[in-house]
Amino acid sequence: MFRLRVKMNNRAKLVVLIASTACFATIWRLSSCLSFAALEENKIDKWTDMWTKVKSCSCATCISDFTISFMKRYNRTVNPFLTPLENFTQEEFKWWKALQRENGDLKKFMEAKKRVFTMFPSKPDLTGPRLDRCRTCAVVGNSGNLKGSKYGSQIDAHDIVIRMNKAMTTGYEEDVGTKTTHRVMYPESAIDLDNNTHLVLFPFKILDLQWITDALTTGFRGQSYATVIPKIKANKNLVMVVNPVFMKYVHTSWLFSKGKYPSTGFMTLVLAMHICDELKIFGFGADKNGNWNHYWEELKNETLKTGVHPGRREYDLIQELAKQNKVTFLRGW
């Protein structure tokens, strides 16, 4: 009887050891294995040195490599993209619905979502970090600080280049480059895309989900607060719809609910940290004179700021991420 008890104890220890190893080996899922309360109470100090030495990709510095301060905000378990099986709590839907005073209910949202996935891929072709790969990304903002920066060739050297809304490249190639693999947009900022560019839709209301299906088929006939292009050109197989829950996660976990909601630029930056291994950021913040403007437009309003978005807080967070070596921030001046 005594011998049997010893064998069972040894097996139990082995199970615990295997489970612990599997859990900690997956660094980008660390937040699901360890509570942040334990981090704050310094209960895992003995593990810190080990985890900071473990690599999650083949880049010199990988975004998903473990650091305590970063993991307090970064949550790998949040799905960045909408899928057919995505469910929402009433609290999550209420937050999203308030962004632009949506009149529809959750049932109407689910109906629009169902139609989206009769046309577009149900799951984006994305995988997590791997030790044998280094996916380099450039997120190119629209700030006037890109003028004269001559970042063009550096931007184009990245595997993934993400641009936003109506950002122009023609005539600005030396400063902003020419390559675009992913274009972030919503109905009021839509443009035509070539057949190789991913359309990344940030939905701010149910109408946005209705627009994306109509704009690539029969044409959209609805109305919004601004002019909406009824039809656009884009590859249906490369459409990706951002998850409203992910948008809320950026607002609460990264900005601690500052401002009404995050800017599209900052949400794109956090999105890139979930799909890239190494990230460089261009064209964010005000220009050297403190003006918030677009690099392709003439500045007409020097009092223009960031509106409902917490621009100062977002800018400070970008600088903080750069100090942590999670991103490289090139401000243009």
Give the residue numbers of the binding site for substrate. Answer: 101, 142, 165, 225, 261, 265, 285, 294, 309
Pure H helices in 120-237: 152-156, 173-176, 206-215
Whose CA is closest to 159, among 128, 132, 137, 129?
137
* Residue 249 is among the residues annotated as catalytic for this protein: no
State the DSSP code for 251. I
Paired residues of 182 in beta bridges: 162, 198
* Residue 186 is among the residues annotated as catalytic for this protein: no
> Residues 239, 240, 241, 247: what is their CA dihedral angle, to the nearest 10 degrees?
-150
Q: CB count, 10 Å around CB of 230?
A: 15
Q: Is 303 exposed, middle or buried (0-12, 13-18, 19+ CB in 10 A)?
A: exposed
Measured CA distances, 170 to 159, 167, 331 (Å): 20, 10, 21
Say how far apart CA 63 and CA 28 lie, in whole Å: 9
Please tell me which residue in 151, 261, 274, 295 is annotated as part of the active site. Answer: 261
Q: Which residues are catalytic?
A: 261, 309
